Every structure is written in structure tokens, then in C-alpha cells.
Chain A
Amino acid sequence: MKTLFDKDTWQEIFSSIGQNKVRTIITVIGVLWGIFLYIVLSGAAKGIDNGFERQFERISSNSLFVWGEVTSVPYNGFKTGRQIRLKLSDVETLKNKIQEIQYIAPRNVSGLWGTSGGKIVHGQKTGTYNVYGDYPVFTTITTKNIYDGGRFINESDITFNRKVCVIGERTRQELFEEDENPIGEFIRINNIYFKVVGIHKYVVEGGMADDGDIHIPFSTYKKLYNSGEHVHFLIVAAFDDADIVKVEQDIRTVLKDRHNISPADMRAIGGFNLGEMFKQITKFASGMTFLSLIIGLATILGGIIGIGNILLISVKERTKEIGIRRAIGATPKEIRIQIILESVFLTIIAGIIGIILGALVLSGINAATKDMTDYPFTNPTVPIPYILGALFLMVVLGTLIGLIPAHRAISIKPIDALREE
């Protein structure tokens, strides 16, 4: 241990690896490349992971959508081809029957699935936008950022069928003057005046959301579009620990039972399981991380074998020098430690430079992708324990590989090394 912290030990090591600088540098690059790849790849994998997480952060990750479609199996006296329409009463039944459900947001929409959007008029300006009928619970499942001074639809809007609306950022730009504050202003939706109570910020999220969406109270929508108890689709959020695939099955079973659909009918209820997709993406991201780990480790290993190889050659070249050292009193142990430390030193230097370069590249990628919000990549990082682990592994491998040339070095007999040619 004493030799490790001895200045002279290191001076010996520096002077011997400094002998063939070009070769030393090329050798170091081999390992450096390995750790560099490892850092960049696993950072990038983490960036993709973070990116997907950001895409989904606006919506509860354990959620799914269900809607009614057309039956494909005759059942209970009904023919096939019957249009299934979900009803508001389904919401309560689902909540009561399936314990795993945390929230259900029933929604109606005009402007999607072949329906025409709402015709919106403000002053001289007009436009067509999707109009959603929503309950306040909608914002507990997906986040809507509302600009200061505004709000989302609340319970009393529902109770009193208020003609209020939340408009999107794009709607605001297209229907209002730049210096005009839309809050408190009125717009006409299908010729009925609605008071603007909030503006939602445009955020990137997968799915159907748009920056022009207009939200009005569900109860008002019912009257406006005469949709009765019908619901276009439900967003169901399950508790975090619930199995979302099973929740979907249960929901389908309950809905089939309530709507006289054959249990064998796979088409009558449409659904999109966000939770399951999210899980698959998470799996994909951890697969990427694993892959980068394997590639990184394999490259590091290759590089370290290179170091071992070069040290073997260097020991061969230095046969005479090692013989001289032995003749003037170096013990085999001292020679062995020197060679191993050379190996470890080269490995660590390569590791540190590789980590620094990798970090620089990652921060470069980070700076370049910072503003690309529609691209699932953000904040590429490698956890410190992973880096320390990699460095530790490199020290271990460097020592092991150093044993080979060290053994070669001490098997040189001084008498053979010094024999005059």
C-alpha cells in the first residue's frame, strides 16, 4: 500500500510509459473509446427514457381510453352491426364494480371521428375547432396548464349548465387581437354565446389533444348538441399499483354486460391502453439501457485486452531494462507491482478522459435537443454510481490484465536479460 502513494513509484511508472508516447496514447484510446461509448449510449438511453416520460407526464401513466364501436357478433336477439354508445350511467357502474379505478372522465367531442367541429365566431373572426364536453375530473387525469387569470371548468359550471368555455392557445391567437384579454369575453359556439373563463397552454402530449381544443361543461355540451346521456369516450385512470391490462378486461366485461354485447365480441368496445403502451416503452427504454451497458462493457473489455497486449510487448522490449533493475536489487514483487500499476494507471486515465468526453458529448446533445419538445429525448444523464461502477470494473480488469505482462516480466531471469549478444 505504501508503494501506491509513493511519489517515486509513480515517477517510475510515468517514465516507463512515457517512453513510447504514441503507442501509449493509441492504447489509451482503445479503453477511452469503450468508456466513452458506454457513457454516451447509456446517457442517450436515459435521455430517451426521460423523453418518453416527459411525453406522458401530462397524463396519468396508468390510464386507458374506451369508446363504443359496432357489434360484430349477434347476441341476445340483437343483430350484428349495432352501434354501441356508452352512457353516463356506465361511469358509476364501472366505478362501483372495479375497485382499481381511481378516476373516470367521461367526454363528448365534436370535431373528431367524422363529426364536424364547432363553428366558433368572435367579432369578425371565425374558425372551426374541436369542442369537448368535460367534467372537472378530466384535469386530475391529464394536466391542463391554464394561463394566469383563468380556470378550467368546475363543478358549479356543470350543476348550472353554464355557458363557459376554456379555449386553446391557438384559438386565442386566431380569434383575438394580440393585446386583447379573452378572459371574460364572449365567443359564439354554434351561434350560442359562451364566456371564456380560461386559456390552456399548448403542451406536447401524444394522442388527440390539440392546441385549438375548446372545453365546455359536459352538461352544457349535452344541451348544445342534444347528446342526451351519451358519452363518446371515457378516460379511465387506475391506481398506480393496479394491473392496467386486467382493468381493461374488467371494464370491457362490465360494459359488454350492460350493453347486451356478446362476451365473444372483440370489436364492440374500442379501447386504447395508454398504461400498457407506457409499460412497453419503459421496457424498451430499459432494454436500450441494458444494450448500452453490454456494448460499453464489451468495448471496455476489448480496450483493456489491448492494454494487456501492449504491456506484453512493452515488457518484451524492456527485457534488458527489467534485467538491469533486477541486477541492482529490484525484487520480483516490485517489478510486478510496477507493471500492474502501469496497466491500472493507463486504464484509469483512459476511463477518466472517456467519462469527461462522454459527459461533454451528452451535454452537447442535451443543449441541442433542449428545444425539441416534440421529440422524445430529454436530459440524457448517467447516474454517478454507474460511472463509479464502470471505473471500479476497469480498475479490476486493468489489474487482472496487468497480471499477464507482470508475470512475463518477473519470469525474466536477470542473467538471460543481461547476456551479451
Chain B
Amino acid sequence: MINITNLHKSYKIGKNSLHVLKGIDFIVAEGELVAIMGSSGSGKSTLLNIIGMLDVANEGSYTLDGVPIKNLDETKAAKYRSKFLGFIFQSFNLINYKTALENVALPLYYQGKKREERQEKALNYLDNVGLKEWATHLPSELSGGQKQRVAIARALVSEPKVLLADEPTGALDSTTSSEVMALIQEINNQGKTILVVTHEEDIAKMCKRIVRLKDGVIVEDTLVSQIAAI
């Protein structure tokens, strides 16, 4: 599903250049649930951003579902993101003046889907995350866990190939974290490829594979026996 070879990324800060990713080779097969771990500054978020086409690499190749991701302009990146990827953020990133249902339906709007189809599909996905009766509520009326579940529904609604979760439980307490991870596991069990960036060991252990980054290189890549979140 994801095929990355020899990926380099450096940022220019003033006259110095900060080499963040120093040759990453990384293959993810369909249906995997991968935890990307590392301390801050290890380059894990940069890697996720490149995979998410929010950032571009300086060097190396990246293929997503057989499509080589290169020479991206903003429009093309937006199209690919809309087609291939679903994002889950630490701070949920819901649009605060839109209801749960409208938030979930938004990616479909940018895909040019018809209104009825959007509403129906969004409601369906809200139902899947157990928030059907909260459809008309604003994010401010939802708890953290509920917000993240809305965000997950939003990430899923466009039927992406890969789900990218950047510290999905970072802003949640342990009980809600487990609930959210259980949902992620369930989605993975239905066959979706998911990448989770985290720095928490117990969250990582709920995945099927752990990739550890340190100073811009992968230092460990192991398959683990998954622990059920709940």
C-alpha cells in the first residue's frame, strides 16, 4: 500500500539545515495497523506529513497504492488526499461552527458528491462510531472522545485507502483513549490500513506493528501481538 525508499527531508533554519529524515525505507501492506513511535524530534510527524502529502520529501520515492507521489502541486495534493487519505489529529480539528454531521460530510463536499448522498453517508458513518443521535450537535457540545470519534467518522467517510492518525489519543484520558483505540482496531479489522503516530507504549501495543524512529532513521521495526484496547 505504502512504499517508501530512501526518503530524506531537511528543513532550512536560517543558514543551517536541519536533517530530519535521513533515508527512510518503509513498506506498509494493505490492512496493517502500524504504530510509528519515537521521541519528539525523531521525525515521526514529518514522516506522517510526507505520507499525508502535507509536506514533500527532498529525496527518495513514495508510492501510494501503486501511484507514484511526486511533483505535487497544491491542487494535485488536495486531489490525492481527498482520494487516498483520511486524517485524524490530536486536537480533533473539527470545524467548530459546523455540526457533527456537517463536519463528517465536508470531505464528501470537496469530492463533489451530491447533497443527499453526503447526508446519508455521513449519518451512516456517524452511526458506525456510535454518534448518530449527536449528529446535530456542535463540537463544543461534545466530549473529547466524542469529538475524536466524529473526526474518525470524517476521516472514514471519503473511503480512503489509508488512515493517518497523529497522536489520536494525545488529548484524551486513558478510558477514552482505549475507546478510541478500540474503534481504530475495529476499523483495521475491517481491512483498513492505518498508521498511528504516538509516543505512548500502551497505545503502540494496541497496534500490530511498531516502527521506532530515532534521529531520522528507523531503528526498530517489529511485528507485535496486538493487545485489545478494551
B19 at the interface (CB under 8 A from A): no
**Minimum Cβ distance to chain A for residue B181 (Å):** 20
Which residues of chain B are within 8 angstroms of A414 by Cβ–Cβ distance?
54
B124 at the interface (CB under 8 A from A): no
Known: A410-B74, A418-B89. A327 touches B54 (CB 8 A): yes
B158 touches A328 (CB 8 A): yes
Which residues of chain B are within 8 angstroms of A107 by Cβ–Cβ distance?
none
Q: Mark A310-347, 1 if CB is under 8 A from B, else 0.
A: 00000000001101111111111110000000000000
**Minimum Cβ distance to chain A for residue B31 (Å):** 23
Q: Mark A1-20, 1 if CB is under 8 A from B, else 0.
A: 00000011000100110110
Docked pose: A324 CA to B89 CA in angstroms = 10
Which residues 133-191 in B have Cβ within 8 Å of A in the complex?
154, 158, 167
B82 touches A19 (CB 8 A): no
Which residues of chain B are within 8 angstroms of A18 by Cβ–Cβ distance?
97
Which residues 77-106 in B have Cβ within 8 Å of A in the complex?
78-79, 81-83, 87, 89-91, 93-95, 97-98, 106
B42 at the interface (CB under 8 A from A): no
Which residues of chain B are within 8 angstroms of A320 by Cβ–Cβ distance?
93
A333 touches B75 (CB 8 A): yes
Partner of A332, one of B52, B74, B98, B115: B74
B115 touches A420 (CB 8 A): no
Docked pose: A147 CA to B225 CA in angstroms = 112
Docked pose: A329 CA to B98 CA in angstroms = 17
B111 touches A329 (CB 8 A): yes
Which residues 288-329 in A have Cβ within 8 Å of B in the complex?
320-321, 323-329
A321 touches B95 (CB 8 A): yes
B26 at the interface (CB under 8 A from A): no
A360 at the interface (CB under 8 A from B): no
Q: Mark B50-84, 1 if CB is under 8 A from A, else 0.
A: 00101100000000000000000011001101110
**Minimum Cβ distance to chain B for residue A21 (Å):** 11
Which residues 99-143 in B have Cβ within 8 Å of A in the complex?
106-107, 109-111, 115
A415 at the interface (CB under 8 A from B): yes
> Which residue, A15, A321, A331, has most C-beta atoms of chain B within 10 A?
A331
**Minimum Cβ distance to chain A for residue B103 (Å):** 9
Known: A328-B82, A328-B87, A329-B111. A415 touches B106 (CB 8 A): no
How many of chain A's residues have a CB under 8 angstroms from any CB in B?
Answer: 27
How many of chain B's residues have a CB under 8 angstroms from any CB in A?
Answer: 29
A329 touches B54 (CB 8 A): no
Which residues of chain A are within 8 angstroms of B158 by Cβ–Cβ distance?
328-329
B91 touches A420 (CB 8 A): yes
Which residues of chain A are within 8 angstroms of B106 by Cβ–Cβ distance?
325, 328
**Minimum Cβ distance to chain A for residue B213 (Å):** 18
Which residues of chain A are within 8 angstroms of B107 by Cβ–Cβ distance?
328-329
Known: A15-B97, A328-B87, A329-B107. A415 touches B54 (CB 8 A): yes
B110 touches A334 (CB 8 A): yes
Docked pose: A420 CA to B106 CA in angstroms = 22
A331 touches B79 (CB 8 A): yes
**Minimum Cβ distance to chain B for residue A5 (Å):** 14
Partner of A324, one of B52, B75, B83, B95: B95
B93 touches A418 (CB 8 A): yes
B49 at the interface (CB under 8 A from A): yes
Which residues of chain B are within 8 angstroms of A415 by Cβ–Cβ distance?
49, 54-55
**Minimum Cβ distance to chain B for residue A325 (Å):** 7
A329 touches B74 (CB 8 A): no
Docked pose: A40 CA to B221 CA in angstroms = 75
Docked pose: A268 CA to B87 CA in angstroms = 97
**Minimum Cβ distance to chain B for residue A232 (Å):** 82
Which residues of chain A are within 8 angstroms of B95 by Cβ–Cβ distance?
321, 324-325
Please give me the residue from chain B that is nearest to A19 by CB atom: B97
- Partner-A contacts on B (CB < 8 A): 49, 52, 54-55, 74-75, 78-79, 81-83, 87, 89-91, 93-95, 97-98, 106-107, 109-111, 115, 154, 158, 167
Given contacts A8-B115, A415-B49, 13 further A-B contacts (CB under 8 A): A18-B97, A19-B97, A323-B93, A324-B95, A329-B79, A329-B81, A329-B83, A329-B107, A329-B110, A331-B74, A418-B54, A418-B89, A420-B91
- Partner-B contacts on A (CB < 8 A): 7-8, 12, 15-16, 18-19, 320-321, 323-334, 410, 413-415, 418, 420
21 contacts between A and B (CB under 8 A): A8-B109, A18-B97, A19-B97, A324-B94, A324-B95, A325-B95, A325-B110, A326-B78, A327-B81, A328-B87, A328-B154, A329-B78, A329-B107, A329-B111, A329-B158, A330-B78, A331-B79, A332-B78, A333-B75, A413-B54, A415-B49
Across the A-B interface, give the 6 residue pairs with the lowest CB-CB distance, nearest first. Answer: A329-B82, A329-B110, A415-B54, A331-B78, A328-B107, A332-B74
